[in-house]
Amino acid sequence: MSSWIGSTRSFAKKKTLENVEYFLVSPSPRSITTTLLDAFTAFVYNTRMGNRTYYVDQSNLLLSLFENNQQCNYLKELPESGFQQDSSSMFKSLSIKPKFSDIQKLAAGFFLYELSMNRMLTQTVEKAGIRSLFDIGVHLHCDLSGTEIANYVKEVRAYQAKTKKKTLNIYVMTANIDHVKMFGRLGDPTWKVNAMSKIPSSDPQILLMQELAEIKILTAQPALILDYNDSTDRFITLMHRGGPTGPEFLKLMSSQEWYLV
């Protein structure tokens, strides 16, 4: 996409830059959360080293979504000379890795939605008729057949038994509306299942807004069922409003622990 969400925010006037270490933001990301985590990792590394972070962001992705971070420079073109940073390798080269709580503090300032973007996300949720708070949020990860859904249902039942809640208001994140229906059929009559995927769309910008809106929804939930093999779920935990302690209840559907890159 050459222009994200029709943003009119512009870059600073071009300056001649030489011998700059920069991070190249993918102009056509396959996964928005993978791209955002990669870009953020460069920021974490450079902050740790006491350096500014230079982003070559030809699609204007970062400034379309987030406020201008004063510790960063956003470039539309490659500098005259420089070195492209590999955020993953550089982060792993740190002899002392930052604590999760420190990473989360940096994320809170880095992923600060631009005002109009925050308004659009709020409107997306309101238009879908989705409330802001649920008993539990679930991000389904399964193949087309949905055979894994029964495992998620089992974990939600266990959560209900543990909390002794007579009814559950559940938010389900998934791209497949059929999976939402299957989850509802396999679930309990005392459950109310909510999902934004009940409003299907083929428009990539609408899909992006829905994904970011769903992430925003899940970051507010007191209980979550996630899988850290997925970058979206790691992003949700990073941005969770519960702070370093995270949600009150967290069930992981795999043995994978949280990691940045």
Query: What pLDDT sits at residue 18?
Result: 75
pLDDT, averaged in runs of 10, over the chain (261 residues)? 52 64 89 97 97 96 97 93 94 95 96 97 92 96 96 99 98 94 98 84 84 96 98 97 88 97 90
- Helices 100-110/231-238 angle, 10° precision: 90
Q: What's the pLDDT at 5?
A: 59
What CATH topology corresponds to 119-252?
A: Rossmann fold (3.40.50)
Q: What pLDDT was estimated at residue 140?
A: 98
| pLDDT for 84 | 96
Position 28 scores a pLDDT of 79
- Break the chain into its structural domains and give their ranges: 4-112, 119-252
> Coil, helix or strand for 249?
strand
- Secondary structure E strands in the chain: 20-24, 53-56, 72-75, 82-84, 136-139, 168-173, 191-194, 223-226, 249-252
User: Considering just the CA atoms, what is the radius of gyration of the chain in Å?
Assistant: 20
pLDDT at 1: 42
Burial 232-242 (b: 16+ CB within 10 A, else e): bbbbbbbbbee
Pairing of strands 20-24, 249-252: unpaired
pLDDT for residue 186 = 98
| pTM of this structure | 0.91
- How confident is the model at residue 199, as a pLDDT? 66
Asked if 213 and 32 count as a contact pair (C-beta separation under 8 A), the reply is no
Beta strands 82-84; 168-173: pairing state: unpaired
Say how far apart CA 126 and CA 120 lie, in whole Å.
Answer: 10
